[in-house]
Structure 1
Amino acid sequence: MIDLFKNIIDLTAEMRRACDADSLNNAFRALLACLGPFAHAAGTVHKTRRDERYLIDTTYPAHWMEHYTRNNYQNIDPVIDPVNHGLTPYNWDQAYICNADQKKIMNEFRDVGFQAGHAIPLHLTPGMLLLVSVASPEKEIDFQTQALIQLIVGQYHTRYCQLAMLITYDEKPLMTERERECLLWVAQGKDTTEIGAILSISDNTTKYHLKNVMHKLGCHNRVQAVVRAIQLGLIYP
């Protein structure tokens, strides 16, 4: 166990040196491989809005992910529903199953070879979490392994946030006041329609401003834009 822990610490240092998202995800995969035959999914999850769940990285089989997304399981998956679990790590068998569709998802997880899992949620913004769920072919993930997974995910979260700070002060993109207002309301958990109503602008205008912000910040979605803007000191939610 001591040798394993040392090896993990060494690999964690490599993760902390990752210069972009791809190298960070590759380092994270290598770390998990040291612990066992695990698969994982990392993504951003809004605390209350099920339609704002974005995948960052996964090692789940391609056929499973195709089936998962085709059936919009991300909207009903009990494992990634933070409302049911709070903000502390939890096991899959602690997931609250409230209907037949959710029970079906869990059964299908097992059918493709995932018997147990452990999930760790960490804050990105007031309304958004980084959630990493690790799946195992074994019937349970022991306590020591869970503790190591939590350590690894904590470092992944740290570097994920740090990567948003790599733009230097002189390279900070200029944002218009309206773009800043829109992004601030995104950080507070508001959707397009709500932002438009608050600012007395149309949905299309709201989308236009947020699209410009994402382009300026080099982000693919609103959540990433909020995280990067906060780290750069462009907004203060």
Structure 2
Amino acid sequence: MKLLSDGVKRLLAVGDDLEAIQRVYQEKLSQMGLAHFLYAEAPCAIPSINHGAVPFFLSCPETLQESYLDAVSLTGDPVILELPNRVAPFTVAEAVEIHVPAEKRGRVLNRLDKAGLGNGLVVPLNARQGRHCSSTVFAAKRGREGTAVLAEATHRVHVLTTYFHQRVRQVLDQRPSARPNLLTPRERECLLWAAGGKTAWETSRILKIAERTVKFHLANASRRLDTANTAHAVARAILRGEFVP
């Protein structure tokens, strides 16, 4: 319990620096044997992470994000499908069991496990009206060891994540609504489609511009927002209030 109480105290004391809040959360998760997390919001009506789950913070490398999307592309994201039905934590495997047809279940679970994402715990969180929010944490170990880590850490993860979410919302709610925009309208538009899961090619078809032009605008947006990739740029743009997904 000392680990949990220390984590809660530090989250409450760290101030209004969102990146510092994230670091405390990640540090405490790591001490529980959890390697990565994804804190995201999604529209209620959208059944797939490819079409609406917007990452605010994520510690998963981009390759792991792609592996997760590849695994759930067979059926749509079971976590997003299950979120409306839950208030207590549940595992990714449970969501797969409920929402993935039996004939595809093994393939989805194998893909997730191969990527190191087979042992995931989802914590549903309160979100803005018409949206769902959650933090999904993934065990560092695979197989039965990872399952045991999740089972042992569930209560602590639930409490810690609730405080993490509370601190993030406090900071965001205190920020002025009127803030100078860093992005051009076209950069914002390209990022908005990226937030909805569209590729550069798909966005180019929608906006009727060349794919290389979309990539140019996305690269410029990442540079202006001082981020390493498009996913991070989307997250920072939302946090800055550049757009609402």
Larger radius of gyration: 1
Instruction: Give the TM-score normalised by the residue count of structure 1.
Output: 0.61
Partner of 2:239: 231
Partner of 1:27: 24
RCO higher in structure (CA 8 A, sep ≥6) = 2
Shift of 1:219: 2.1
Task: Establish whether residue 86 from structure 1 lines up as the match of residue 92 from structure 2.
Answer: no
Code of the residue aligned with 1:201 in structure 2: it is I
Partner of 2:12: 13
Structure-2 separation of matches of 1:132 and 1:102:
17
Partner of 2:49: 48
Code of the residue aligned with 2:83 in structure 1: it is G
Task: Establish whether residue 39 from structure 1 lines up as the match of residue 14 from structure 2.
Answer: no
Pick the aligned partner of 1:118 from 118, 121, 124.
121
Structure-2 separation of matches of 1:236 and 1:107:
33
Q: Is the 8 A contact 1:217 1:225 kept in 2?
A: yes
Code of the residue aligned with 1:120 in structure 2: it is V
Matches within 5 A, 1:47-66: 47-49=48-50, 56-57=58-59
Partner of 1:210: 218
Structure-2 separation of matches of 1:236 and 1:115:
31
Code of the residue aligned with 1:200 in structure 2: it is K
Q: Is the 8 A contact 1:11 1:31 kept in 2?
A: no
Partner of 1:104: 110
Supply the RMSD in Å over aligned alpha carbons.
4.7
Residues 28-74 of structure 1, C-alpha deviation per residue, up to 9 Å, x if partnerless?
2443467xx43231136783329x9989326xxxxxx9xx95x9466
Partner of 1:200: 208
Code of the residue aligned with 1:27 in structure 2: it is V
Partner of 1:179: 187
Partner of 1:138: 148
Structure-1 separation of matches of 2:215 and 2:173:
25
Partner of 2:45: none
Shift of 1:81: 4.5
Instruction: Give the TM-score normalised by the residue count of structure 2.
Output: 0.60
Structure-2 separation of matches of 1:223 and 1:158:
23
Structure-2 separation of matches of 1:74 and 1:190:
13
Unaligned runs of 5+ in 1: 59-64
Q: Is the 8 A contact 1:115 1:140 kept in 2?
A: no
Report the secondary structure of 1:201's partner residue. Answer: coil
For residues 131 and 102 of structure 1, do their structure 2 counterparts lie closer, same or farther at Cα, with a shift above 3 Å needed?
A: same
Q: Is the 8 A contact 2:93 2:118 kept in 1?
A: no
Structure-1 separation of matches of 2:79 and 2:118:
21
For residues 17 and 76 of structure 1, do their structure 2 counterparts lie closer, same or farther at Cα, with a shift above 3 Å needed?
A: same
Report the secondary structure of 1:95's partner residue. Answer: helix
Shift of 1:192: 1.9
Shift of 1:182: 1.9
Q: Is the 8 A contact 1:196 1:202 kept in 2?
A: yes
